[in-house]
Structure 1
Amino acid sequence: MTELPTTGFVGDPPGVAESIVVRVASAGDLLAVPAVEEAADRLFRDRGVRDLPPAAPAAARAEAWRVLVAGRPVQGFAVLERVDGDAHLEQLSVHPAAMRQGIGAALLRASVSLAWAVGARRVSLLTYADVPWNAPWYARHGWRVTDDLGPGLRALAESAVERDLGRHGRRVAMVRPVRDPG
């Protein structure tokens, strides 16, 4: 089991729980991820988004570049891919019963730490601009909206358009440098 650092990042907001252990998912952890995703997706359903795809099965998550998890049993996870030589946060979900405890923030910090360890210059993501727990939340954790899209990130953004994800709200690309320029 590989634990990742989740503290000591310039610009991290104060008061975030630093005792949360984030680790690379084991095969057993991956089995728990779909239930966390399904529970987290209920928040979108509560906003009227009723046509979400089902949670990805554990086997599909095992194909990701890295899946990070927090909690025993798993309470949150982050799916990371390599895109344009950088790290890309494909998905981050926290079980609603475990929200507001710093798990999401710890997963973000671990994602940045992992990106730094492999020499990436930034972590990217695609998200909804106006959903409170999407772009506004990421912005509070150091991510900034960007139009600096490499070919891989541009292809992911175009795929989201093709899948009509914009029908649920405006989508944006966001990035966070792995080293804060300050």
Structure 2
Amino acid sequence: MTEIEQDAYTIRQARPDELHLLAAIEIDAFWVLHEAGAVDCEPTSLSLDVLKQSVAQQLLFVAVDIEDQPFGFLAGIRKDGSVHIAELDVVRRWQKRGVGRRLMEAAIAAARTQGAVGLTLTTDRQAAFNAPFYASLGFRILDDEQRPAVLTQILENEFAQGADPARRVAMVLRF
């Protein structure tokens, strides 16, 4: 990545007036997961209630271009002392430029500042831009017996929506 490309976007807290823009980002990014075989369902997006909660907790970050238009986002929610990453998406034309990593770094920093014990998420174990990406940030996969009930419930909800149980995992980064 050239210096110009890196400076062509900024990571910042999302504003409430931007929430309506995030579904389009999530749906655009969905197709990459679909093509990788990670999902076999119709695209969905986070509820407005989850996004509002994430904003209220100062855990909704956006990647914006030089015109301050969002093209990626990360939504975190505090759960059981940790920050759960509910969603991380970057539109296809901005992928593979380090945007997802910078969004995750912002969430990790915010979780530390807010006194969380770590971060959790669920993801696809096989797609390179999912579990292997999170592992590069220090996350580790939780075995069934290590997984807290809240993450088991999230996984079960994902299975009910069409996610492949053989591919989905819960991951944690502890501080």
TM-score norm. by structure 2 comes to 0.80
The residue correspondences of 1:6-45 to structure 2 (distance < 5 A) are 21-45=10-34
Counterpart of 2:174 in structure 1 is 177
Structure 2 distance, partners of 1:160, 1:42, is 17
1:70 equivalent in alignment to 2:63:
yes
Counterpart of 2:112 in structure 1 is 116
1:26-83 residue CA offsets vs partner (Å, 9 max, x unmatched): 0232222111111111213334545134333556522334321111211210111112
Q: Secondary structure at the match of 2:28?
A: helix
Give the letter for the 1:68 counterpart: F
Tell me which protein shows more helix as a share of its residues.
2
The residue correspondences of 1:120-159 to structure 2 (distance < 5 A) are 120-147=116-143, 148-159=146-157
Give the letter for the 2:170 counterpart: A
Change over 3 Å in CA distance of 1:117–1:27 after alignment to 2: same
Q: Secondary structure at the match of 1:63?
A: helix
Structure 1 distance, partners of 2:170, 2:44, is 23
TM-score norm. by structure 1 comes to 0.77
Give the letter for the 2:157 counterpart: S
Identity of matched residues, %: 27
Give the letter for the 2:44 counterpart: P
Unaligned runs of 5+ in 2: none
Structure 1 distance, partners of 2:127, 2:111, is 26
Segments of 4+ moved more than 4 angstroms: 17-20, 57-60
How many residues in Structure 1 have an aligned counterpart in Structure 2? 162
Whether contact under 8 Å (2:25, 2:91) holds in the other structure is yes
